[in-house]
Structure 1
Amino acid sequence: MTNPSRRNAFKTLLAGAGAASLPILPAQAAASGTAACAPAFPGWGRGIEGQRKADRGDGTYVNPIIAGDHPDPTILKDGKDYYMTFSSFFSYPGIVIWHSTDLVNWAPVGPALKKPLGTIWALDLCKHDGRYFIYIPAAPDGNAWSIYAIWADRIEGPWSDPVDLKISGCIDPGHVVGEDGKRYLFVNGIRRIRLTDDGLATDGTVEPAYQPWRYPEDWVTENFAPEGPKLLRHGDYFYLITAVGGTAGPVTGHMVIAARSKSIDGPWEHCPHNPLVRTTGTNEPWWSRGHASLVEGPGGDWWMIYHGYENGYRTLGRQTLLEPMEWTADGWFRAQGGDLSKPIRKPRGGKAGPNGFALSDDFSKDRFGVQWSFHDPAPDEMTRVRFANGGLEIRGKGSMPVDSTPLTCGVGDRSYEAEITLDLAGPAEGGLLLYYNPKAFVGVGFTPDTVKTYQYAEEQPWARRPQAISSVRVRLTNDANVVTFRYSFDGGKTWILHGTRMEVSGIHHNVFGGFLSLKVGVYAAGKGTVRLRDFRYHALPSG
């Protein structure tokens, strides 16, 4: 499938909304560089397998609340429960829903979307008249963007098949019910369209809704790009929270702004505190912060949830951050988080629930969607897999990682180790990767007679090593973006150090596009079968 460029898509999608790009300034070069060193953190809590977690166990937390690639968060408060999901892009099964009772500790419920729709961008999760809805911008097979809807009577599912609302050329839906009782979707631009009462069809056309607040022209941003509208009715007003400045590019670009109106029809008043959230320099712990939603905490205090890149670790993708906010006497609000590298008092009144999940897997049960997902799969991709003979068997596809549709596992730690046993059957090739997309990955591969090296998304023929192989255990160590591979042919009793170490800090969106993250990947190529056994993961102390 074609991977649509968000930057190019915005040129097309926003043209109809009259959104002009700001001039590119020479100072952008400095602001978009990598900081000389990432700031020190005071220490996260440690969870399953030593994975970092936000809750420090002393009544405070340190961001991120969900580590790793969880961008464009959309959150739903449902009684005492909170549910959240994220852009899932080319990962399928996708749209994993997470649950919390305190806004800090989160655990997955499961995937809501199993039918591939191409790349999935910023969603909206909402509940209306007792039914759950997710509005999904997607570009099936690389074709034109449209917005789809799925629904369920229980958050756990089953979820319906996607319904195409035929809202073409739009992304980033935000659902709201107006004072007229009608349902609307706001989209990038910032525009809106009315929905039918069941929320599964349109009742009108896309129309302009709001001309967003503009920042000074000398600010270093990627482009204006108003996106991610999220709406909230609070007191006498509708509040419209929007992202501008571009989702990536210079670290100072992405930001959160707000407006309010007493009617869904406007007029909208700019917030006098804009921008409410913005990274102002490369020394800050979190870069490109934006795409926010507001949510009331368990004890009645209020919070912002948004995403950001971790300083020095763009490879982990955009991670989910939680910042306190306060309502002001004039009916506006301000962010109150301050230095996000420091511990913050947890929301009042919540009860901590489960946090995260183990990534180690003996393949005794199906963990697709929550942990494992194919990158950009074909509709029949799952016919390649079966759980048998003490592992997960994957039928080979293509001839190398780039055309094999790798199986991937997202991670949230800065340093970690992962290892797995691969059993080769027939003329198969299998291997362990750090995988971003077909243009960007590193790894080692094994055929029945050869050890291979993959670097710069290509095999390095000079590094081939002859070796008779039927089964191999492979270990990947990622220590602050320096990657080392080892492998063993005797079940892990003795290990061979792979001859090439790789530095991967440059494998991220600003270089390769796609808004993805660097994931642990396993591939099966050729005409044989690769059986996966005993995958193990643990964070390193520096992670």
Structure 2
Amino acid sequence: MNKATKAANTARMILSGLLGLAVVAGASGAVAQVWRSDSGRGTYSNPPLNADYPDPDIIRVGEDFYFASTTFLNTPGLVILHSKDLVNWDIASHVMPRLTGNPKYDLVDGGDYRHGVYAPSLRYHEGRFYIAVTPVGGKTRIYSAAKITGPWSMRELDREAFDPGLFIDNDGKAYVFTSIGSDGTITLLSLNADLSAVVDARVVHFNKGAEGSKVIRRGDWYYLFNAIPSRLGLTVSRAKSLTGPWETRPQIDDKTGGHQGALVDLPDGGWYGFVMLDAGAVGRVTNISPVFWQDDWPVWGTPEAPGRVPRSAAKPILGKPFQEPPSSDDFSRAVLGRQWQWNHNPDDRRWSLTERPGFMRLKATTSDGFWTARNTLVQKGQGPRSRGVAKLDVRGLAVGDECGLGTFGKFSSQLVVTRTVDGQGQVSARLIESTTQGPKIVSRSEPRPAPLTDLWLSVTMDFTTDKSALSYSLDGKAWVPMPGDFPLAFDWRTGTFQGEQYGLFCYNPKGGDGRLDIDSFTLGRP
């Protein structure tokens, strides 16, 4: 069956229920989501996206909502999502085609894991989008574009503003709020007219442990939201001047909904909150919540259930169609699907979507291990349970190549396909744990014979148990499970500082001309 037939035969179906399984036909093959927030009956369940979309900043432009999120060392970097109702989202663009400013972004000298770009701040003013972001160890950047899809231009400030909170007031003057959680001193930076330089800096508030500043204006009041990581909580401060005096109140925390976020207004004048929640191995998800006002203070939830983010509620805006980011891919297009990213900057000489149309070709990169191998192709794991299946053509593997599919994160459990010196194929499983001393192989299974033809690899992530399961097939129907215990975990101190991802890889310690041709990747419910 060819790829066009496969796509044409993919039925549209939506299965409602707790897991919210949805399978729809996409432009380049089947697109399968394992979680559907929108019930189809005017309500939604949190989170709208059951995947690692941390450090959210959401704005409204007319009837459109845009959501900027952290991407660390993944490229293209700094994702922007789009929605019409805050519930149904799709990926609109990535701001950074490649990461620049640090040679480690090319995965040299061990790479720059847990760093890169995070905590972006998104704003819109007089026909232009603006994003403030500070690469770890670098100076704050202000990106701007007339369209959310770019192209984006960039100007760099003269300093590093941690978790910059960009704010453009009604008079067009632009500011950045910044604070570091280890302290809590909040500094206000005033920018010049074209947002290219700081013209004034002053301390305006102290909020112990505060970071992740976000500022909005409602009437005569300014509202400053801050994450308090030490308490996994969110505070709000208000003042009638940006320079203060500010008064502060606690809002919510991870027990009641999350700890980093702010508010966005609706076209009808209402307000909704968005907030990040630490959700275990899947990563940090973003919840949304109705918000009401008491004495000019925002209150999360509803008057009937105040002070918490609801597990489910009425949709903020009714009547908008179901929408979701793509996930499955048959690689029939000559451009990378917007669901995919690379671990660090890729070596563009070592991958192709055009050399063999209909396949993603990964040419083996030179590396002594998975952690330092370039061109690992990743996408987010999805909760509560998901299964990724890759159909591979492994005929092009060379001796020494280590190629396959696995999880990628604090624990990386992998199905590895190799070619022996006598020309035979093998498949094995291994578990790699990232530690403060670096990655280490925890376990490795005995290799099993596998023909060097077509091969199917399957990785299941179960975030209800924080376990992964690996299996392979010679025909895509009968599956052989791999023995072993394959945990899933999230850890900001080691690993990637991200939720577990699916990763496709191909490398060889000695280099060479081997290759892995990926026919398809299908994400669905186990």
Q: Same fold (TM over 0.5)?
A: yes
Instruction: Give the counterpart of 1:375 among 327, 343, 353.
Output: 343
Runs of 4+ in 1 over 6 A off after TM superposition: none
Instruction: Give the counterpart of 1:394 among 342, 362, 381.
Output: 362
Equivalent position of 2:138 in the other structure: 145
Instruction: Give the counterpart of 1:418 among 375, 388, 413.
Output: 388
Query: What's the secondary structure of 1:315's corresponding residue?
Result: helix
When normalised by structure 1's length, the TM-score is 0.78
Q: Over the residues paired in the alignment, what is the CA RMSD in angstroms? A: 2.4
Give aligned-pair identity as a percent: 25
Is contact 1:179–1:264 with CA below 8 Å preserved after alignment? no
Deviation at 1:499, TM superposition (A): 2.6
Answering whether residue 335 of structure 2 is matched by residue 335 of structure 1, we say no
Equivalent position of 2:192 in the other structure: 196
Is contact 2:329–2:337 with CA below 8 Å preserved after alignment? no
Deviation at 1:179, TM superposition (A): 7.0
Q: How does 1:326-475 map to 2 (within 5 A)?
A: 326-328=292-294, 330-336=295-301, 338=305, 340=309, 342-347=311-316, 349-366=317-334, 368=336, 370-377=338-345, 381-387=347-353, 388-389=355-356, 390-397=358-365, 398-405=367-374, 406-424=376-394, 425-427=396-398, 428-436=401-409, 440-449=411-420, 450-457=426-433, 458=441, 460=443, 463-475=446-458
Deviation at 1:198, TM superposition (A): 1.0
- The structure richer in strand per residue is 2
Question: CA offsets, 1:317-344, max 9 Å, x none?
Answer: 111100111111x221211254656421
Deviation at 1:232, TM superposition (A): 1.0
Aligned mates of 1:158, 1:77 — CA distance in 2: 20
Q: Which letter maps to 1:211?
A: F
Q: Which letter maps to 1:419?
A: V
Compared CA separation, residues 58 and 260, structure 1 to 2 (3 A): same
Deviation at 1:532, TM superposition (A): 1.0
Equivalent position of 1:263 in the other structure: 241
Equivalent position of 2:10 in the other structure: none
Question: CA offsets, 1:325-377, max 9 Å, x none?
Answer: 1111x221211254656421221x44423421331111112564721111122
Q: How does 1:138-537 map to 2 (within 5 A)?
A: 138-139=135-136, 144-160=137-153, 162-168=154-160, 170-178=161-169, 181-189=172-180, 190-204=186-200, 206-212=201-207, 214=208, 224=209, 226-246=210-230, 253-270=231-248, 274-280=249-255, 289-310=258-279, 314-328=280-294, 330-336=295-301, 338=305, 340=309, 342-347=311-316, 349-366=317-334, 368=336, 370-377=338-345, 381-387=347-353, 388-389=355-356, 390-397=358-365, 398-405=367-374, 406-424=376-394, 425-427=396-398, 428-436=401-409, 440-449=411-420, 450-457=426-433, 458=441, 460=443, 463-479=446-462, 480=464, 481-489=466-474, 491-504=475-488, 507-509=489-491, 512=494, 514-526=496-508, 527=512, 528-537=514-523
Deviation at 1:538, TM superposition (A): 0.6
Aligned mates of 1:464, 1:400 — CA distance in 2: 18
Compared CA separation, residues 367 and 70, structure 1 to 2 (3 A): farther
Is contact 1:452–1:461 with CA below 8 Å preserved after alignment? yes
**Farther-moved stretch of structure 1 (129-138 vs 478-487):** 478-487
Query: What's the secondary structure of 1:336's corresponding residue?
Result: strand
Deviation at 1:445, TM superposition (A): 0.3
Answering whether residue 58 of structure 2 is matched by residue 75 of structure 1, we say yes
Is contact 2:188–2:203 with CA below 8 Å preserved after alignment? yes
Is contact 2:445–2:483 with CA below 8 Å preserved after alignment? no
Deviation at 1:462, TM superposition (A): 5.7
Deviation at 1:231, TM superposition (A): 0.8
Is contact 2:119–2:212 with CA below 8 Å preserved after alignment? yes
Is contact 1:44–1:55 with CA below 8 Å preserved after alignment? no
Question: CA offsets, 1:189-239, max 9 Å, x none?
Answer: 4212111111133223x4322112x5xxxxxxxxx2x11111111111111
Compared CA separation, residues 341 and 231, structure 1 to 2 (3 A): closer
Question: CA offsets, 1:212-267, max 9 Å, x none?
Answer: 2x5xxxxxxxxx2x111111111111111111133xxxxxx211111111111212
Compared CA separation, residues 83 and 263, structure 1 to 2 (3 A): same
Question: CA offsets, 1:71-97, max 9 Å, x none?
Answer: 111111101111111011111012221
Instruction: Give the counterpart of 2:43 among 60, 65, 69.
Output: 60
Aligned mates of 2:328, 2:170 — CA distance in 1: 49
Equivalent position of 2:80 in the other structure: 97
Q: How does 1:130-141 map to 2 (within 5 A)?
A: 130-139=127-136
Aligned mates of 1:103, 1:341 — CA distance in 2: 15
Which segments of 5 or more consecutive residues in structure 2 lack a partner in the other structure?
1-15, 24-31, 106-115, 181-185, 421-425, 434-440
Query: What's the secondary structure of 1:104's corresponding residue?
Result: coil
Aligned mates of 1:351, 1:266 — CA distance in 2: 41
Question: CA offsets, 1:54-78, max 9 Å, x none?
Answer: 1112221110012200011111110
Aligned mates of 2:242, 2:327 — CA distance in 1: 44
Aligned mates of 2:227, 2:156 — CA distance in 1: 25
Question: CA offsets, 1:15-58, max 9 Å, x none?
Answer: xxxxxxxxxxxxxxxxxxxxxxxxxx983644333521211122
Is contact 1:452–1:460 with CA below 8 Å preserved after alignment? no
Q: Which letter maps to 2:383?
A: D
